[in-house]
């Protein structure tokens, strides 16, 4: 049991369908605390840099185009074992494989338009938080 921070993005398919509140409620009901949050329109450069690890994958262009298509909400979540907890609440990347009651099972449209991103490790959470937030934006 460890107090951690993780990073989350409520993606364009969800902001477009007015699901920000519903998704935040799922996160908060799980015990995670939203300690920083902002609605932004990601730039092409930001999307390509954030997802650089996937730059050789066939879906990279589609992924970046999607992430800049509508506003997103970037968040820092804090709580006990926040990285794993958030991944449990989100469900599997592919909504077809996500467990019942998870965000992706209930809201995602497809593997690409899967409503929410969450860091996959403590190390990546730190990198992803620093990518989008300055220290003075983390208000607790
Ligand atoms: P995310 O957790 O944001 O991390 C990378 C994203 O790439 C992933 O969620 C999916 O939305 C997307 N992705 C992964 N595999 C595919 C795929 N085969 N086709 C389209 N998008 C994908």
| Mean pLDDT, residues 34-40 | 98
| Predicted confidence (pLDDT) per residue in 109-135, tens digit | 999 999 999 999 999 999 999 999 999
Residue from 46, 51, 63 whose mutation best tests the ligand 1 pocket (most atoms within 8 A of CB):
63
Residue 83 tokens read as: 């990285």
Burial class (CB in 10 A: 0-12, 13-18, 19+), 42: buried
Question: What mean pLDDT, rounded, does the chain reach?
Answer: 98
| Mean pLDDT, residues 41-63 | 98
What percent of the chain shows pLDDT beyond 70?
100
Distance 63 CA to ligand 1 centre (A): 7
Predicted confidence at residue 22, as pLDDT, reads: 98
Whole-model pTM?
Answer: 0.97
Catalytic residue among 117, 119, 125, 132: 117
């Amino acid at each position: 049991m460890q107090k951690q921070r993780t990073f989350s993005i409520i993606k364009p398919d969800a902001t477009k369908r007015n699901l920000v509140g519903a998704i935040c409620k799922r996160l908060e009901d799980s015990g995670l605390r939203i300690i920083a949050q902002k609605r932004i329109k990601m730039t092409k450069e930001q999307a390509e840099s954030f997802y650089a690890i996937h730059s050789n994958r066939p879906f990279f262009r589609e992924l970046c185009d999607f992430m800049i298509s509508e506003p997103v909400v970037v968040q820092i979540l804090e709580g006990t074992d926040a990285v794993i907890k958030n991944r449990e609440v989100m469900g599997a990347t592919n909504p077809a494989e996500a467990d019942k009651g998870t965000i992706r099972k209930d809201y995602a449209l497809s593997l690409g338009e899967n409503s929410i991103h969450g860091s996959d490790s403590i190390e990546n959470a730190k990198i992803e938080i620093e990518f989008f937030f300055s220290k003075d934006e983390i208000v607790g």
